[in-house]
Structures are given as structure tokens and as C-alpha cells.
Amino acid sequence: KAGVTQTPRYLIKTRGQQVTLSCSPISGHRSVSWYQQTPGQGLQFLFEYFSETQRNKGNFPGRFSGRQFSNSRSEMNVSTLELGDSALYLCASSPLGSMNTEAFFGQGTRLTVV
């Protein structure tokens, strides 16, 4: 059974640019959550999508957005990049959502903003 796949693994962008990250969940999983991980703040919840609808949102500015497609694949977009957006972005999938069972994480996308 294939795990959660995130692409790309590494990304370098310049301040002011925008970026799109992709996440393919485990087959059959309908929930995809996104997290930002930094050494100072740890893992912080960005948002969760379930059946193409945003079900929950963390405390991040509107520059961070996402969407989910009918095949459950999800994308996260960050516009007008800032240096502080440099982080490991992780996505996790679960069958129904974090409340019911464990979430399986991908390897992450390491974003560096210069």
C-alpha cells in the first residue's frame, strides 16, 4: 500500500514569489491535513480538507490556501512568500479525519525562501 506522497521534496523560492505544494494521500483516505514545521514553533496546523471541502483552519494568514480535488489529492499554495515561511511542510492523510484514527504523514516538502 503506497504511503502519502508529497512533491516536490525540496524547493527554493525568492521573497514575493508564490509556491504550490502537492500531496497525494493514501488510497481510500478522504481527509488531508497540512502542517508547517519549524524549529522554533514545532508542528502547527494549517488546514484540513475532507471530500473537497475545507473542514478546519489554523491560525495562518490568508496567504496560505489550499484545495482538494475529487481524487482526494490536495494542493497548498503560499502567495507573496516571506523569509519566515521557510519550513518543512507536511501533509497527513486519514480515512475520516484526525478525530477518528491516526494520521499518516508524508516525507514533507522543505521550502527555503531566500
Partner 1 sequence: EDQVTQSPEALRLQEGESSSLNCSYTVSGLRGLFWYRQDPGKGPEFLFTLYSAGEEKEKERLKATLTKKESFLHITAPKPEDSATYLCAAYSGNTGKLIFGQGTTLQVKP
Query: Residue 73's Cα: distance from chain center in Å?
Result: 11
The closest of 78, 72, 57 to 104, measured between CA atoms, is 72
Is residue 68 a contact residue for partner 1 (CB under 8 A)? no
Residue 17 or 100: the one with the smaller Cβ distance to partner 1 is 100
Out of 21, 26, 32, 90, name the contact with partner 1 by CB under 8 A: 90
Q: Whole-number minimum distance, CB 5 to partner 1, in Å?
A: 11
Q: Rounded to whole angstroms, how far apart are CA atoms 90 and 22?
A: 10
The closest of 55, 35, 25, 51 to 109, measured between CA atoms, is 35
Is residue 66 a contact residue for partner 1 (CB under 8 A)? no
Is residue 98 a contact residue for partner 1 (CB under 8 A)? yes
Is residue 60 a contact residue for partner 1 (CB under 8 A)? no
